[in-house]
């Protein structure tokens, strides 16, 4: 049986096959990185909330400080979602009859909490202390973005480990005077590098990068 089972063109097509074979692993790796990146999987999470609460209105237009509602941010490890009573501080009298606020009133009446959907949710194996950051001058903006411009809250940072570490290793870029932590519109009055360095020294900020800092 003379001859190869393979036709002659097989050899001519070798460069083509070679290129395809070389591209396939590169393609798969790039896809895994691109598709698996937290930029893809995490950023942009914008769930519908039971009440169409607008931060753009309350925090933006009305200028209510974050801490009016999220009262624990400065002293607890978690940033509390306000209880219905805080809503009712105003909405007992303002827009008290609107349909949009019906779930709030129902909650107020029944005592059942409003099932808000958590947007910035870290994995359970990561320990995060909110107060440690806010009370040292890491602005809300650094993690949450311009909440005061969002009608519906959306995750803007990846909240991945490398993202955390980036700041823990070089905190200067992300520091501001403590009194401005909630000021989403704040701009440094001097070079951020110099300011950050000074603030870091003044406040003795030495973020740990030990595993047990976050995984405890």
Within 16-75, which residues bind another protein (CB under 8 A)?
16, 20, 27, 31, 33-48, 61-65, 67-68, 71
For another protein, the binding residue among 51, 81, 167, 195 (CB under 8 A) is: 81
Asked whether the beta carbons of 140 and 184 are under 8 A apart, the reply is: yes
Position 193 contacts another protein (CB under 8 A): no
Neighbours of 170 (CB within 10 A): 12
Sorted by sequence, the CB contacts under 8 Å of residue 159 that are 6+ apart come out as: 38, 42, 120, 122, 143
Please report how close the Cβ of residue 46 comes to another protein at its closest, in angstroms: 4
Position 14 contacts another protein (CB under 8 A): yes
Position 109 contacts another protein (CB under 8 A): no
Please report how close the Cβ of residue 101 comes to another protein at its closest, in angstroms: 13
How many whole angstroms separate alpha carbon 128 and alpha carbon 160?
12
How many whole angstroms separate alpha carbon 190 and alpha carbon 89?
39
Please report how close the Cβ of residue 155 comes to another protein at its closest, in angstroms: 8
Which lies closer to another protein via its Cβ, residue 158 or residue 192?
158
Reading the block at residue 64, the tokens are: 């209510």
Which lies closer to another protein via its Cβ, residue 120 or residue 198?
120
Position 100 contacts another protein (CB under 8 A): no
The H-or-E segment that residue 106 falls in is: helix 102-110
């Amino acid at each position: 049986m003379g001859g190869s089972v393979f036709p002659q063109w097989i050899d001519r097509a070798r460069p083509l096959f070679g290129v395809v074979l070389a591209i396939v692993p590169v393609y798969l790796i790039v896809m895994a990185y691109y598709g698996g990146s937290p930029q893809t999987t995490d950023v942009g999470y914008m769930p519908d909330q039971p009440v169409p609460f607008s931060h753009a209105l309350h925090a933006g237009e009305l200028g209510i400080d974050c801490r009016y509602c999220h009262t624990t941010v400065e002293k607890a490890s978690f940033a509390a979602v306000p209880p219905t009573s805080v809503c009712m501080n105003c909405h007992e009298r303002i827009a008290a009859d609107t349909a949009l606020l019906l779930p709030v009133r129902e909650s107020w009446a029944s005592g059942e909490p409003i099932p808000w959907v958590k947007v910035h949710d870290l994995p359970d194996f990561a320990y995060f202390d909110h107060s440690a950051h806010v009370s040292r001058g890491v602005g809300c903006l650094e993690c949450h973005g311009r909440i005061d411009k969002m009608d519906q809250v959306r995750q803007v940072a990846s909240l991945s480990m490398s993202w955390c570490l980036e700041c823990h290793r070089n905190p200067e870029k992300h520091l501001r005077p403590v009194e401005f932590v909630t000021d989403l519109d704040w701009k440094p009055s001097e070079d951020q590098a110099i300011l950050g360095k000074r603030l870091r020294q003044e406040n003795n900020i030495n973020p740990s990068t030990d595993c047990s800092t976050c995984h405890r």
